[in-house]
Amino acid sequence: MFRSYARYALILATTIVPLAIPLTASAQGVPGGVDRGAREGERAAGPVGAVVGGVIGGVAGGVAGVLGVDDRPRFRSYVVEQRRPSYTYSRDVVVGAELPADGVTYYDVPPEYGARDYRYTVVNGRTVLVEPRSHRIVEIVE
């Protein structure tokens, strides 16, 4: 029984991978990739397809980042034009670092960049996207 299920999952995975990657590559970040991959996978192959599609979508979304590849240069230019002051941070500016709630000014990301659930700020001269509740850096925009 387990072997037949594993074989079925493998067949679905090899069938869905070529379909899911182009669909999820345009998703915004890991959560968007997981969500879209799961929906497309379920539509194509049922519950197992949803699991496989979610995993593939998360990977593709993680590669793409929160901002799409095409949006990064435009967003970076936008931030430079806004002339936001840079916050001096004594630690390394890395994805996952938690910034302080006080002393840092967080700005809304304009809707055209599709990152409405995040804020941005400038830290040590680098533009970063931040999860607003935790103030955790989710992407460094370079």
Q: Give the helix/strand (H/E) hosting 126.
A: strand 126-131
CA distances from 3 to 10, 42, 116 (A): 10, 21, 44
Alpha carbon 117 to its chain's center: 11
The closest alpha carbon to 36, from 18, 8, 55, belongs to 55
Q: Is the pLDDT of residue 142 over 80?
A: yes
114 and 75 inside one domain: yes
Confidence of residue 9 (pLDDT cuts 50, 70, 90): low
Spatial contact of 140 and 71, defined as CB atoms under 8 Å apart: no
Spatial contact of 74 and 38, defined as CB atoms under 8 Å apart: no
Rounded to an integer, the average pLDDT of 44-68 is: 63
User: Which domain range does residue 121 map to?
Assistant: 71-141
User: Of the candidates 64, 98, 117, which is a domain's last residue?
Assistant: 64
The closest alpha carbon to 68, from 38, 96, 107, 109, belongs to 109
The confidence score (pLDDT) of residue 117 equals 93
Q: Is the pLDDT of residue 35 over 90?
A: no
30 and 79 inside one domain: no
Spatial contact of 75 and 129, defined as CB atoms under 8 Å apart: no
86 and 55 inside one domain: no
User: Of the candidates 33, 64, 95, which is a domain's last residue?
Assistant: 64
Confidence of residue 32 (pLDDT cuts 50, 70, 90): low
91 and 125 inside one domain: yes
114 and 137 inside one domain: yes
Confidence (pTM)? 0.57
58 and 91 inside one domain: no
User: Of the candidates 46, 64, 82, which is a domain's last residue?
Assistant: 64
14 and 59 inside one domain: yes
Give the total number of structural domains in the chain: 2
100 and 55 inside one domain: no
Q: Give the helix/strand (H/E) hosting 44.
A: helix 29-64
Q: What mean pLDDT is reported for the chain?
A: 77
44 and 83 inside one domain: no
Q: Which residue has the higher pLDDT, 73 or 46?
A: 73
H-only helix segments in 65-108? 71-82
Q: Is the pLDDT of residue 36 over 90?
A: no
